[in-house]
Chain A
């Protein structure tokens, strides 16, 4: 650059009198800023809607705070427990309170407070059959003023004014019930129907009465029950049997009217006298946990804090990981074997023919994924085209092939879907290899097979590498195809993630499995970048 020019006397000046060095630097800075200015909007968009959400998902894989909200008083006291003998009466009483009543966290909808065990609000027992108002106000006085209720009432009133068909009115009502629950609880899938009803009845001016508090309590109890269910699933990971223990206790503890609680609880269920349950609770105190990661590879902590395998009947995930890798490998190899000759043909044919054949490759590439799956379903069904053709050719009618809803089906369909991803990179590399090289090798005496192996094939390796990594990356995270044609033994890790996200709502486990998958893919992405360079990624 000119700025490095020797300037022993006077520095070089530009037309307007500033030194050339300064002027060049200024213009470089300006163009740098302009480039950053251009990239910034898309980059921020990507950060906000892609990187941050995924990061947020990953934090869930170790997040263990919910359980702390469920048993706040117990956990506060357990901190001082010596872990040698069964906890003392105070801790039993705390657990009794935590399990028995809707706690302060939920009523205030404020999870930021640290628990002060001497605060009487944590020990107020709300009578199951009322009156509720007094007890609840003792726990959270801010429910006394109408101001706390008015925003909720506004939602209910707005929804009640909805017009339209019966269905539309009903949907408006349910939506408002969801919204109310979302406002006062951490749940976004619950309907606060009691509150909705009572809020509409209330005039909005007088102090909230017993009926409103009853509705509030009912809806809180429902939320608490739901949250406890989730927590008990979590606790069951730590110690199998916890879920059933909590379920049974829920019923029996209601009968206990007064202390001493330790004795009464052990009498209600002797497992409360088993110290290993208490040890499990201690391990759950930390707001971070690795239990989801352990679980996603069929491991768990034992009583002594060692990582051990899950019992035989609970092992699923290692098998699923193996199957996912195995299937991705088969699909990748299958694609490679099929793609190599075709790419060679496409690369060596004269342009006018190869363009025509290229359409065969690109057409499936451009066709909707679901259309391709539907097409394969028509082909592979028991009464499908493949089986019909076989039968027409003399195949015995009673032994039609099982080509779908199993591992084979998934492999066939995935190979067809991913084949273009293999053909295109190999083809683009083969096209750059001059055909004269093969001729030269043969001229020098090599038989065609040797010339191919020693001269042609090594040059295609970059394309093969790119295709192999690309196909493997896509295959390993597949979800839709196995879901539709996989049946029972064609399910992959992606399906498990979806299952835990949507059905079992075990989000921690889904996040942990997603995180492992993501790390595997990022490593492959990194290798891809080393082998091919992402700048060279081409489409079509």
Chain B
């Protein structure tokens, strides 16, 4: 929004102050994430901008922390612990995340389809229940699951972690898919049924393509939630279930090594990719449903 030409000096001043405040806030939001990236390429083990780095001395930059992260311990100058844990953690997080996402997406689509039917009894209450894992503090969910899983020998098992993460991902899928179903024209499914399509075929050929943006963005939310989850892992996971957040957690609690910053950088880049996907999906969804962005 530009300032009109007739603005008084006071208005002009106020306008610039306003812009300055906004830029400061946006700066505050992204700066810590951006600061991490250059430091992760530093060759010094101190988490600072060294004078050499500021002079852009090529000697001051290296990929040694990335090599260390990949479990390459050949660097003689490194005194911190070197292990395959980051790789193991990434693999475990990916596995748990994908499994939990698959489960949460399936269950979430079912729930959203049922809830979007106007005849569904107790709609509001069920919706509130479905969203509640998002609202209840993780520490309470984790404590409850700990006792519950202890009873069924599910503590420190992968099925236990996957089910717990499914619970956390479920609300996201329900919310996003329900949102795409709001403008859904139910005559389409009726038409398909009258043309002889079976229930399953009907769903996959007619409904699914239309709600797909919601499904994907819900699944992405569910995945990132599981991929990023630490409290549940600390409570119901076992010592051999190293996930990426757990490895970061133990790294942060001891001494922050620059390796963590390499991991952080990769995760920041990953988040930018995911963000782009979700944003593109949202626009596609709006275009399909004829909602013009204003």
Contact = CB atoms under 8 A, between A and B. Distances in A.
B98 interface: no
Contact of A38 (B110, B145, B230, B252): B110
Interface string B145-164: 11110100000000000011
Given A341-B25, A521-B136, A367 B268 contact: yes
Interface residue range, chain B = 35 or more
Contacts, number: 266
Given A60-B147, A368-B245, A517-B140, A388 B49 contact: yes
A338 B228 CA distance: 26
B117 interface: yes
Which of B19, B48, B174, B227 is packed against the most chain A CB atoms within 10 Å? B48
A527 to B, nearest CB: 12
Interface stretch (B65-73, B74-82, B272-280): B272-280
Interface stretch (A205-213, A302-310, A376-384, A459-467): A376-384
B140 A378 contact: no
Interface residues of A, number: 95
A473 B135 contact: yes
Contacts of A41: 107, 110
14 contacts: A42-B130, A50-B141, A53-B141, A359-B272, A360-B29, A363-B271, A366-B278, A367-B268, A368-B271, A369-B228, A370-B249, A375-B36, A376-B32, A476-B137
Interface string A28-53: 10011011111111110110011111
A349 B227 CA distance: 34
Contacts of B260: 374
B204 interface: no
Contact of A46 (B30, B121, B130): B130
B28 A338 contact: yes
B148 A374 contact: no
B221 A539 contact: yes
A121 interface: no
B253 interface: yes
A185 to B, nearest CB: 14
Interface in A7-37: 28, 31-32, 34-37
Closest 5 CB pairs of A and B: A477-B137, A38-B114, A39-B114, A53-B148, A53-B144
A373 B25 CA distance: 18
B148 A479 contact: no
Contacts of A473: 135
Contacts of A522: 135
Contacts of B33: 363-364, 367, 371-372, 375
B208 interface: no
A74 B103 CA distance: 51
Given A56-B144, A362-B275, A529 B128 contact: yes
Interface in A432-486: 448, 473, 476-480, 484
A374 B114 contact: no
Nearest to A529: B128
A403 interface: no
A494 interface: yes
A317 interface: no
Contacts of B275: 359, 362-363, 365-366
Contacts of A479: 137-139, 231
A374 B264 contact: yes
B147 A534 contact: no
Contacts of A361: 26, 29
Contacts of A370: 228, 230, 245, 248-249, 252
Given A42-B174, A45-B170, A55-B144, 17 more contacts: A39-B111, A42-B130, A50-B141, A54-B136, A54-B140, A54-B141, A57-B143, A357-B26, A363-B271, A366-B271, A367-B267, A368-B248, A371-B263, A371-B264, A374-B36, A501-B146, A538-B175
A32 B114 contact: no
A416 B29 contact: yes
A371 B11 CA distance: 40
Contacts of A507: 147
A494 B131 CA distance: 21
B1 to A, nearest CB: 4
A327 to B, nearest CB: 14
A140 to B, nearest CB: 24
Given A480-B231, A510-B143, A539 B175 contact: yes
Given A361-B29, A371-B268, A45 B166 contact: yes
Contacts of A341: 18, 21-22, 25
Contacts of B138: 477, 479
Nearest to A41: B110
B223 to A, nearest CB: 11
A416 B293 contact: no
Interface of A: 28, 31-32, 34-43, 45-46, 49-57, 60, 188, 338-339, 341-342, 345, 348-349, 351, 355, 357, 359-379, 381, 383-385, 388, 416, 419-420, 431, 448, 473, 476-480, 484, 494, 497-498, 501-502, 507, 510-511, 514, 517-518, 521-522, 525, 529, 534-535, 537-540
A378 B49 CA distance: 10
A416 B24 CA distance: 12
B119 A31 contact: yes
Interface in B198-236: 217, 221, 224, 227-228, 230-231, 235
Nearest to A448: B11
B242 interface: no
B167 interface: yes
B163 A383 contact: no
A216 B8 CA distance: 90
Contact of A368 (B25, B48, B130, B228): B228
Contacts of A367: 33, 267-268, 271
Nearest to B11: A448
Contacts of A357: 26
A368 B47 contact: no
B16 interface: no
Nearest to B40: A378
B247 to A, nearest CB: 10
A191 to B, nearest CB: 16
B131 A416 contact: no
B294 interface: yes
B178 interface: yes
A478 B30 CA distance: 22
Contacts of B263: 371
Interface string B106-138: 011011011101011100001111111101111
Nearest to B127: A534
A310 B223 CA distance: 46
Contact of B139 (A35, A420, A514, A529): A514
Contacts of B148: 49, 52-53, 56
A518 B178 CA distance: 26
B252 A43 contact: no
